[in-house]
A and B are shown apart, each in its own frame.
Chain A
Amino acid sequence: MSHLPVMIIIWPLIFAFLTPLVDMVSLRYRKHVVITFVVGQLVLVGLLIFGDSGGTTYYPLGGWAPEIGIVMVVDGLSRIFIMLIAVGTSLAMLYSLADIPDKESKYYVLFGILIAGMFGLVLTGDLFNLYVFIELTSLASFPLVAIQREGPAVRAGLRYMIFTVLSSLMVLLSIILVYGALGTLNMEEIGRQLVSIPHELRVLILALWIVGLGLKVAVIPLHSWLPPAHAEAKSPVSALLSGVLIKTGLYMIIRLPLLMSQGKDEMMIQFILINIAAVTIIGGHLLALGQRDVKRVLACSSIAHMGYIVLGLGIGSLLGLVGTLFHALNHMAMKSGAFFSLGQMVKDHYDFDSVQGKGRGAPWMAAVFLICCISLIGLPPLGGFASKWILGMAAVEAGQPIYAGVIALGTFLSGLYYANIFRILLNPDVSVESVKTRWLSAGVVGVTGFLCVVGFFAATWITDLIKIVAIGIL
């Protein structure tokens, strides 16, 4: 039995507790530790994803039977999210080396715990551990938002905490209800037996899941914690939260309400999701249009993009699910890239007045920012276009062309505000000093830009892979 699934969770924890020890000796070794960790993580994840035939693997911890013990499940869906988390966190981690002050040892501790929590979240096979890992990621992410210890960041972190705790409470309540009704916490068992729960109780559980997990993915009207939290954090943290962390909420939405319900319930959930998604796309873009701060615009655009992602789930077809997963991957690349490159152009103060002309100080970073934003708008030849194309096709094929219209309207609205940001960043009337970029950060930014391009030109290959997974899920 390969110990890879648990190794993947333990490896970032080792890193998290090793970093302060190494820092006590000397700060000089920080870079080596971080790079070793990232390489190790990528190797482990690569072995896990591509190491076997791709079927479902069970890993019972300690050898206990799944019904009574703790089991980790590696199936197609978890593989996709593991890949997303591994790539997104590795990039953010490398980027942090240049962006985070040397003294902040606890930044890396929290970061490691957060990574471990996210991996655990997508690997665990029972509800109780799911809850444990949700709490782990939450506890690690509030301080990451507030790491600057300044007024707005702390306020944003606090607000983030309140909503996350609310979400966790709802999930916990639903877990209690499920356990009370079925006497098991194993997710596969629950999936089989959920129909046997009385109707009223089942509705309560499903509604708690939708709202509790909807808070995690920040769909409108459950979004209000996201703009301040993602905007006030440091750039790598913003990229991590926008690009990776909210996708774990998506994983849970697929795993819990969508895959466990059947028949009428499933139709109802899809109906709710598709309408929330449409409201989220338009509302999120309008919200972004009204902002006067570049990072808040990007944060609000994340809300809208979660709308696109949830839209594919609401459509409910195979193509819709492929579009969802593909757009989640693309969004990780392009939103991280946008935050990374923005962080290189502008060091602090992201309101429109302060960033005037800053793009001209670092033209290469501005170019990648442009690529990422064009991809976010959804124009070819970049990844955002490919996944929006699939989502639009899925909407029309499912007989709901109105939602393809929502996607097109979203494209228009995002064109409006991204064009405005370019205009401000490239403003030629302000004199700016050129900004030096460290090679590591530049490399990370370059990789994200490259991923945006890959999302289009390798779309055939990627969607084929995702399709295999999606067929396995449905």
Chain B
Amino acid sequence: MVSFSFDFMGYPLLLGQVDGLSMPFVVAFSVIIVPALWYSFAYHRHRNQSIVSVLFFLCSLGTVTAGDLLSFLVFWEGMMILSAILIAVDTGRRDLRIGYRYLVVHVIAGASLFLGVIIQVSSTNSLDLAGLVPAALPFLILAGVIKAALIPFHFWVPDAYGQISPGIAVILTAFTTKVGVYAIARFFPSLSGLALLGATVAVFAVVMALGQRHLRRVLSYHLIGQIGYMVAGIGALSDIGVAAASLHMFSGVMYKGLLFMVAGSVLYQMKTDDVGHMGGLIRKMPLTFVAALVGAASISGLPPFNGYISKTALKIALQGDPVISLLLTVAAVLTAMSFAKLLWDIFLREKPQCEGGEARESPAVLLIPMLVLAGICLGTGIHYPLLTDALVEISIPPIYSVGSLWESLYPVLLGVVLVPITAIKLRHLARRGLHDLDFVFPRLIEGFTQVGRVTRNTLEGHLQTQLLIVTAFLVFLIWMWP
């Protein structure tokens, strides 16, 4: 990797610095961008969208390879602006509010990061990424948590990714939240409670996913859940934990990309992503079904796919903590349940009145990247030293042992068996109890606008009042002067 350095207002900026932590991110980003861009050609309404996508990709690379805080900040904000433009252009016809909410929540993250970086830089007078001062930490944590979509800042993911076109979604989902994970791993790997937070997020997100009807929203919540796994890995507070989290990040980027592509492919044919209206697509879209099966098996951690490798690594990293392990097992059961149900609803069940009458296999422009990604999921799973030795240096016991196989199989079996029994109860929980959390934020924005209106009404008074205020201010200044 080429590295640059130049001077900005007296501070040296270092770009293109790759170390052990950023390497997996660089590799994952560089691998996913090719099929993702290819796939997005089918969806792009503008050729400019491809240019913005590539810029966005470069900004993501810049963020994870930034060698100092200021260039990290610059690329971070660049990502934010470009992704907001992508979303706004994409959702334009339907709903510009999505881009608006996305931009606002990320501006909060950006402002928080800005403040944290300023405090850090002026207290230590260096742009070093390591050695954070305690005063700067809360702001960096807030920025990282918003970007990584952890509870309670998860709402922007289903809000945005649940409605944008899959061509954009495959690009955005691969990078944005992963950069948040990178920030967490880079800035505060030794924060206590990270593992518990991650495991809670994983369970919560999967429960929420069970309550959704729309394919992209389901996948959005699963995306949050996978972030939870990664954060739990970082929270293991060991080298193997961070390595396992990076591994899971790589696998996650691949199979989440694949699953979003499957969703896009289904959406392309059905013109809806309401799972309730689908059924029996296996005969019409067999190759898509194969890709979906690979993705579902990967995300459920089934051998021999890459999800199995990274989840096993995570289990080894976290085996010292029974609570976390239990939570992650619950999340695994629920994940398997969710995907078993999805596959059944979309592809397998016979539904005579389903609307997919004219559905047929997707064109090659959509299929090829999907199959490439499925190949990567399978290939890196079988030939796993590619991940465990080349990508990150992690020494773990033989992965394909009977114990590990059983460890990964029984949650899936349990999940599949439990589908008919518990899915409905959980769906109610997700719809009624937890759904309201997602609408806190739009109301918050509304609240700020209200404050603005009140300020306007207060500060834009009559001429006489304003003149009186000016005079009173003069008298007040003279009076208070010591």
Contacts and interface: CB of A to CB of B under 8 A. Distances in A.
Among A159, A166, A385, A389, max chain B CB count under 10 A is at A389
Closest 3 CB pairs of A and B: A289-B452, A415-B107, A290-B456
A422 B102 CA distance: 13
Interface string A397-416: 10001001101110111011
A404 B110 contact: no
A390 interface: yes
A377 B110 CA distance: 11
Contacts of A374: 81
A227 interface: yes
Interface of A: 159, 162-163, 166, 170, 203-204, 206-208, 210-211, 215, 220-225, 227, 264, 268, 272, 283, 286-291, 374, 377-381, 385-386, 388-390, 392-393, 395-397, 401, 404-405, 407-409, 411-413, 415-417, 419-420, 422-423, 426-429, 459-460, 463
B467 interface: yes
B112 A290 contact: no
A403 to B, nearest CB: 11
Interface stretch (B117-125, B149-157, B212-220, B318-326): B117-125
A321 B9 CA distance: 15
A385 B77 CA distance: 10
A395 B482 CA distance: 24
Contacts of A291: 452, 456
B474 A208 contact: yes
Nearest to A398: B122
23 contacts: A203-B481, A207-B474, A208-B474, A221-B469, A221-B473, A223-B459, A224-B469, A286-B451, A286-B456, A287-B456, A290-B457, A291-B452, A385-B77, A386-B9, A389-B114, A408-B111, A415-B104, A415-B108, A416-B449, A419-B103, A428-B93, A459-B8, A463-B9
B70 to A, nearest CB: 8
A220 B77 contact: no
A162 B481 contact: no
B383 interface: no
B451 A289 contact: yes
A30 to B, nearest CB: 37
B455 A377 contact: no
B466 interface: yes
Contacts of A159: 463
A108 B189 CA distance: 63
Nearest to B139: A408
B74 interface: yes
Contact of A423 (B97, B453, B459, B470): B97
B10 A460 contact: yes
B474 A224 contact: no
B456 A460 contact: no
Q: Chain A: interface secondary structure?
A: helix
B449 A289 contact: yes
B166 interface: no
A401 B119 contact: yes
Q: Chain B: interface secondary structure?
A: helix
B436 interface: no
Contacts of A170: 474
Contacts of A392: 114-115, 118
Interface string B452-479: 1111110111010011011001100110
B413 interface: no
A289 B449 CA distance: 6
B123 A426 contact: no
Contacts of A290: 449, 451-457
Interface residues of B, number: 59
Contacts of B389: none
Interface in B37-91: 70, 73-74, 77-78, 80-81, 84, 88
B77 to A, nearest CB: 5
Among A163, A377, A396, A419, max chain B CB count under 10 A is at A419
Contacts of B104: 415-416, 419
B474 A405 contact: no
B470 A221 contact: yes
Given A224-B460, A426-B92, A428-B96, 18 more contacts: A206-B481, A207-B474, A221-B470, A222-B470, A268-B482, A286-B452, A287-B452, A290-B456, A392-B118, A405-B115, A408-B139, A411-B114, A415-B108, A419-B84, A423-B97, A459-B8, A460-B10, A463-B9
A166 B467 CA distance: 9
Contact of B477 (A162, A207, A377): A207
Contacts of B73: 380
B78 A381 contact: yes
A258 to B, nearest CB: 15
Nearest to B73: A380
B100 interface: yes
B265 to A, nearest CB: 26
B107 A404 contact: no
Given A415-B111, A426-B96, A460 B119 contact: no
A204 B473 contact: no
A416 B445 contact: yes
A34 to B, nearest CB: 36
B99 interface: yes
A48 B238 CA distance: 64
A104 B457 CA distance: 36
B96 A408 contact: no
Contacts of A203: 478, 481
A272 B477 CA distance: 9
Contact of B470 (A211, A389, A412): A211
